[in-house]
Amino acid sequence: MKKCLPLFILVMSGCSLFEDTRLVDVKEINGPCTIGLTDGSSVISNGNIEISKTTLTITYRDEANKLWSLVKNDYTSYTCQ
């Protein structure tokens, strides 16, 4: 039992590292935004969009409040108001 105590304390102290976890990889941009698609069409977000800084994936909600994600190969540009 005494041998497990230091390991238990170490594990419990490590848990506190995750208390203030934020998504630092995501950039939120105020919308609504118009996203130009590779096929020449465009979509309009219903509010803000989020862009992953590492994958450049755009996540947005449409007019029905449905959540969508577009990978970099699916869009050419975006503009926000």
Read off the pLDDT band of 68 (50, 70, 90).
very high
**CATH number of the domain located at residue range(s) 23-80 in this protein:** 2.30.30
Question: 3: which 2 tokens?
Answer: 């041998």
How many angstroms separate the CA atoms of 1 and 69, rounded? Answer: 50
Per-domain residue ranges of the chain:
23-80
pLDDT in tens, 5-25: 666 666 666 555 555 555 589
pLDDT in tens, 43-61: 999 999 999 999 999 999 9
Average pLDDT over residues 19-38: 85
Whole-model pTM: value is: 0.70
